[in-house]
Structure 1
Amino acid sequence: MSLTDELWSAIEPIYAEILDHPFIGGLTDGTLPREAFRHFVIQDSHYLRDYARALALCAAKAPGEQDVRAFADDAIGALAAEQGMHAEFLTAFGETAEEAAAEPVLPTTRAYTSYLLATVYGGSFAEAVAAVLPCYWIYARVGEQLLAKSSPEPLYAKWISTYGDEAFQSVVRRVLALTDRLGEEISPAERRRMVEHFTTTTRYEWMFWDAAWRGEAWPV
């Protein structure tokens, strides 16, 4: 079994829960409350700044020049997405990027980014790749699933098209090919750690959408 097959097999039940989540359903039928989408956009802006740092660390740890360049480009792309696409969404809410940045980082976002950065800082290159992979792969699969349906709500249709289009899908295929190359080189113990990190951050992906749906806030 290839490493990517093993990883996906480990998270298939979680992915099914993601597709079945009312946040995702509300995107496609247009019924998602705008406040839930606003929550998502603002927390995603916070998340992407730390995700870009994680990708930059992947670049620093990559043994080959091609992978160094690829992850460095992806880090820049994550920041560009935060500044570009999210700015468009925030304008629709009558807010600025500065106002969004001043909003607190909420519990699920803090937990996800803390786990992500701790794993990428402290683990091997292979472990780092496993930790950042769900944000590529889950979004690509969700975007692919939803692209045919799109949404009657223009804001939601814009989000779906970003992650369902071929440009993003090709980036994800490149990371998946790297993951399978790593699977041929690493020890069984490191492979198990990759599965653990990948499964954990996939769970955080579900939690991230669920937090927006619930309107999560700090309890005290």
Structure 2
Amino acid sequence: MTFTKLLREENNDIFEEIFTHPFVKGIGEGVVPSESIAHYIKADYEYLNAFMHVYGIAMAKSSKREDIEFFNEQVTFVLHSEVHPHHNFCEHIGMRYEELQGYPLPPTADHYIKHMIYHANQGSLGEIIAALLPCPWTYLEIGNTLMKQYQPTESHPFHPWISFYADGEIETLTNHLRSRLDSLAAEASESEQQKMKEAFRKSCQLEWLFWEMSLSCEEWPTAGVTAK
């Protein structure tokens, strides 16, 4: 069994919880509260900005030109392609994308970004990829799961969103990251592999929490809240 197959098996519990999360199911059913969609976009816009910064750190830690080229291409992908599902959500709730940019991060998104930045700065290239991989991997499987369960037509309000993540480009990205992580894990020590596993699982957990944060419109406690 490859390292990433093992990771998928060990974290199947979280993947299944993501597939059945009310926000994710709502995308398939075409019914998600507008305020939750807006909260998601506000946080995900900043999250993707951070994702590009982590790709930049990965480039700096790469010794192979092929890795540098790959991470550079992914920055371009996030900048110019991964905005499309955001536009689908924006059109559905009748808001311009620009209106939902530049907001402070809610607690979960803040934690997720700092988790990735920590592994990017402190970890190996394998650890960085392990922290990044759950994002495209869970979205790929979400897209495929929703496409299979709901078989959305072009009249479905979230057809562009579902189609984007069920598309071959996300699968290609996921498979490339998996292949590279498998190669790095094969050369890593047992302790380094454990760090990769921990980074991967926490990112999976934070993916689920990101959906929960969006649905509940999570905010920081107010200044008047005191610890008990």
Q: Which residue of 1 aligns with 2:225?
A: none
Percent identical residues: 29
For residues 90-123 of structure 1, the C-alpha deviation after alignment (integer angstroms, 9 at most, x for no partner) is 3543433432123221111111001111111111
What is the TM-score when the length of structure 2 is the normalising length? Answer: 0.89
**What is the rounded CA distance, in whole Å, between the counterparts of 2:7 and 2:104 in structure 1?**
33
* Paired amino acid for 1:145: T
**What is the rounded CA distance, in whole Å, between the counterparts of 2:151 and 2:33 in structure 1?**
16
Q: Where does 1:46-65 land on structure 2 (aligned, <5 Å)? A: 46-65=46-65
Q: Which residue of 1 aligns with 2:38?
A: 38
Q: Which residue of 2 aligns with 1:2?
A: 2
Q: Where does 1:1-220 land on structure 2 (aligned, <5 Å)? A: 1-81=1-81, 83-148=83-148, 149-151=150-152, 154-220=156-222
Q: Extract structure 1 runs of 4+ deviating beyond 3 A.
A: 81-85, 91-98, 150-155
For residues 135-157 of structure 1, the C-alpha deviation after alignment (integer angstroms, 9 at most, x for no partner) is 12111111111123244774422
* Paired amino acid for 2:62: A
Structure 1: gaps (5+ residues): none
* Paired amino acid for 1:70: F
- Secondary structure of 2:187's partner? coil
For residues 181-219 of structure 1, the C-alpha deviation after alignment (integer angstroms, 9 at most, x for no partner) is 112111111000000000001100000001111111222
For residues 10-56 of structure 1, the C-alpha deviation after alignment (integer angstroms, 9 at most, x for no partner) is 21111111111111111111222222222212211111000111112
34 and 98 in structure 1: CA distance in 2 versus 1, 3 angstrom threshold: closer
Higher helix share: 1
* Paired amino acid for 1:200: K
Aligned partners of 2:116 and 2:131 also within 8 Å: yes
**What is the rounded CA distance, in whole Å, between the counterparts of 1:29 and 1:199 in structure 2?**
28
**What is the rounded CA distance, in whole Å, between the counterparts of 1:124 and 1:38 in structure 2?**
35
* Paired amino acid for 1:121: N
Aligned partners of 1:19 and 1:25 also within 8 Å: yes
For residues 57-102 of structure 1, the C-alpha deviation after alignment (integer angstroms, 9 at most, x for no partner) is 1122122111111111112211224544424533543433432123
Structure 2: gaps (5+ residues): 223-228
How many residue pairs end up in the alignment? 220
Aligned partners of 2:130 and 2:196 also within 8 Å: yes
Aligned partners of 1:137 and 1:172 also within 8 Å: yes
19 and 116 in structure 1: CA distance in 2 versus 1, 3 angstrom threshold: same
Aligned partners of 1:23 and 1:213 also within 8 Å: yes
155 and 44 in structure 1: CA distance in 2 versus 1, 3 angstrom threshold: farther
